Structure formats: structure tokens, C-alpha cells
Amino acid sequence: MTYHDVEWGTPLHDDRRLFEFLILEGMQAGLSWETVLRKRDAFRRGFARFDPVKVSRFTSKDVAQLMTDESIIRNRAKIEAAIGNAKALLALRKEFRTFDRYVWGFDDKDLLSKDLKRRGFRFVGPTIVESFMQAVGIRNDHERGCYRRAELTRARAVTPAR
């Protein structure tokens, strides 16, 4: 409930946090978001607080260490995708300067998913990308009667376009 009331759908513009949400959404595939939320602090420890520069330097030794960490989701494909995604994010920054500027340039999950895949990102199918866009506030998908929808709509109305 706290996650919904405080975090979910609130516009994020910090590259590290955006990267964190993209990775956590990928980790969630096949699992509940509640499972991921309970493990979020452990993921932050294991993935260098989601610093993409540090994660991009992870080696097979780091992957092996993460695979023994029972406090995270130990799926080799997802762990290796997170490392590859950090590298892809750094390459993307060369073109867009920030991950923020890049992801906020999309309003269609399918287009963002396809473009991320084209750029070498993994675990970024349309369902994962839609969840990511909702979580970081690119899309305000709170239900019509939800007080957060109204709050976020008002906040966007007074916030200048990026």
C-alpha cells in the first residue's frame, strides 16, 4: 500500500532510479511485484545501488557471487541481462546524454520495447516495459477513481514539460 501511495506512478527523472526500476521490472517477470519489493534492498546491495557504471563492470565472478545470494532472485539470465542492460544504457547515454531524456521521449510501450531491444537491452518485452512506464510515471495508469491519479494529473499540469 505504501508503495502505491508514495512511489508507484510518481514521475522519476533520476537515471540510477530509472535503471533500478527497469532491472527490477525484468526481475519480476513470472513473479509478483510484492516478491521483488521485499528483495529490493538486497538487490540494491548486490547491484551496487544500481549504478550502471559499476554494474557494467561486473564480471563472471560477480555473477557467480550473485547466484549464491539467497536474498535476491537468483536467475542467471536475469542477472546477466541486468549487466548487459547497464552496458547498453551507457552506450545510449552517448547519444541522449541521459537515460531519463531517452525513456521520457516515448509514450508507447511497444515502441520503447522495440527500441530498447534494438539497442541491446534484454528482459524489456512490452509487458515489462509497460510496467516500467507505469512505475516511473511516464504513464499515469492509476484507476480513474484513485486519488493518486488526480494528484499526479494536477502535478503534471503545473510542472513544465521537460
Q: Which of 7, 33, 80, 151 is catalytic?
A: 33
- Respond yes or no: is residue 34 known to be catalytic: no
Task: Give the span between the Cα atoms of 14 and 101, in whole angstroms.
Answer: 10
- Respond yes or no: is residue 8 known to be catalytic: no
28 in Cβ contact with 131 (< 8 Å): yes
Q: Could you identify the residue written with the cell 550473485? A: 66
**Beta-carbon count within 10 A of 47 CB:** 25
Supply the DSSP string of 80-96, one letter for each residue.
HHHHHHHHHHHHHHHHH
- Respond yes or no: is residue 25 known to be catalytic: yes
Q: Which of 7, 8, 20, 25 is catalytic?
A: 25
Task: Give the span between the Cα atoms of 100 and 27, in whole angstroms.
Answer: 21
Which residues are annotated as catalytic?
3, 25, 33
